[in-house]
């Protein structure tokens, strides 16, 4: 972990620094290097990314994406130097910068409503990444990355599932950092083991509740609910939040109403003639109240959560 931190802080070229931070974020490790990432992005934001623009389209697009991703202010005007005189279209000479186009495409999904330049950026990137001869001129890893991005934009993917897929993709990149890759694998395995324990606990709760047998038309979707919850909050420190969201989601809860079993349609319930059937439980639950009661205790507040010991996770013998 310290090796990766040193790579961020050791005065490497700005272009390489941005690429490293992007990889850290996509590998699901940004929470481990929060201070280092914010320090770099704060400087770039204050300087309006003037140095980054000189590094080319890819670095500029990565910078734009990261600043928006981490809540910094940045204008779409950062791309003006890559557009024609009227700033209406991107320069045709950029059409062969495939890696830059891929970063531009990902950055375009961080646009705010009404940002026409980013709409143009997306159209321009898609047009040239989909050229018929593109597969002939691209190495396999880049072709795979483009297909991955066009299949579903990075901004719309489930971060934790993206981290798992990106581990395999990052391993094939020419400028891959071995310490970062090793850290990503160990971190993912550790957090996944935490999720598996939580799922086992949730399964015990659901079996004790015994609603699947008591109400025989309810659908047993505990795994599906937990999967959705991991998509919302995957950080290992927020196990209590995952537990309650899974329970509420499994019960089909709507805030402010009684907990309910999910509705089922008649075609899935032979013999049931009513169009809809709800079984209202006596239990009254409001997720906001549950979480508020839990966090009333200072020791339970997320900011004071001990999480897990890094020394325990990143043991040298883990490969």
Q: What pLDDT digit, counting tens, does each position of 65-117 carry?
A: 999 999 999 999 999 999 987 777 899 999 889 999 999 999 999 999 999 99
What mean pLDDT do residues 176-187 have? 94
The answer, yes or no, to whether residue 255 has pLDDT greater than 50, is no
Best CA proximity match to 63, nearest among 34, 21, 30, 35: 21
Phi and psi at residue 177, to the nearest 5°: -95, 110
The answer, yes or no, to whether residue 188 has pLDDT greater than 80, is yes
Residue 285 — pLDDT band, cuts 50, 70, 90?
very low
Are 18 and 63 in contact by the 8 Å Cβ rule? The answer is yes
Report d(CA 273, CA 255) in Å as an integer. Answer: 29
First to last CA, the chain: 14
Instruction: Please list the alpha-helical segments (H only) found in the chain.
Output: 2-9, 14-26, 34-46, 50-53, 57-69, 98-108, 116-129, 134-137, 140-151, 159-171, 178-209, 211-214, 222-232, 239-250, 287-295, 310-313
Higher pLDDT, 294 or 1: 1
SS3 145: helix
Instruction: Please list the alpha-helical segments (H only) found in 10-138.
Output: 14-26, 34-46, 50-53, 57-69, 98-108, 116-129, 134-137
> What is the value of pTM for the model shown?
0.76
CB atoms within 10 A of CB 227: 16
Looking at the domain that runs over 2-176, which CATH code has it been given? 1.50.10.130
Report d(CA 162, CA 145) in Å as an integer. Answer: 12
Are 244 and 290 in contact by the 8 Å Cβ rule? The answer is yes
Supply the DSSP symbol for 131: -
Report d(CA 5, CA 35) in Å as an integer. Answer: 10
For the chain, give every residue range classified as CATH 1.50.10.130: 2-176
The tally of CA atoms less than 13 A away on the side-chain side of residue 20 is 24
**Residue 263 is encoded by which pair of tokens?**
């509705």
Q: Which of 41-50, 102-111, 299-308 has the lowest mean pLDDT?
A: 299-308
């Amino acid at each position: 972990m310290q090796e990766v931190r040193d790579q961020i802080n050791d005065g490497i070229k700005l272009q390489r620094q941005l690429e490293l931070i992007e990889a850290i974020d996509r590998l699901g490790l940004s929470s481990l290097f929060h201070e280092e990432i914010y320090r770099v992005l704060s400087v770039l934001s204050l300087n309006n990314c003037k140095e980054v623009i000189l590094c080319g389209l890819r670095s500029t697009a990565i910078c734009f994406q990261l600043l928006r991703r981490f809540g910094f202010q940045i204008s779409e005007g950062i791309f003006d130097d890559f557009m024609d005189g009227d700033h209406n279209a991107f320069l045709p000479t950029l059409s062969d910068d495939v890696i830059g186009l891929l970063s531009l495409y990902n950055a375009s999904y961080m646009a705010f409503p009404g940002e026409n330049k980013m709409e143009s950026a997306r159209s321009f990137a898609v047009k040239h990444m989909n050229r018929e001869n593109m597969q002939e001129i691209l190495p396999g890893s880049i072709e795979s990355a483009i297909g991955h991005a066009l299949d579903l934009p990075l901004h719309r993917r489930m971060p934790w599932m993206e981290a798992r897929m990106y581990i395999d993709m990052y391993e094939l990149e020419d400028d891959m950092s071995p310490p970062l890759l090793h850290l990503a694998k160990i971190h993912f395995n550790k957090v996944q083991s935490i999720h598996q324990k939580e799922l086992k606990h949730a399964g015990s709760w659901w079996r004790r509740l015994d609603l699947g047998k008591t109400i025989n038309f309810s659908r047993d979707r505990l795994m599906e609910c937990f999967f959705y919850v991991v998509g919302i909050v995957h950080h290992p420190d927020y196990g209590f939040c995952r537990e309650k969201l899974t329970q509420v989601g499994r019960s089909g809860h709507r805030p402010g109403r009684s907990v309910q079993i999910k509705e089922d349609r008649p075609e899935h319930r032979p013999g049931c003639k009513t169009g809809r059937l709800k079984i209202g439980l006596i239990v009254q639950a409001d997720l906001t109240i549950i979480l508020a009661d839990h966090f009333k205790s200072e020791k339970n507040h997320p900011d004071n959560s001990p999480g897990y010991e890094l020394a325990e996770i990143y043991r040298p013998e883990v490969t």
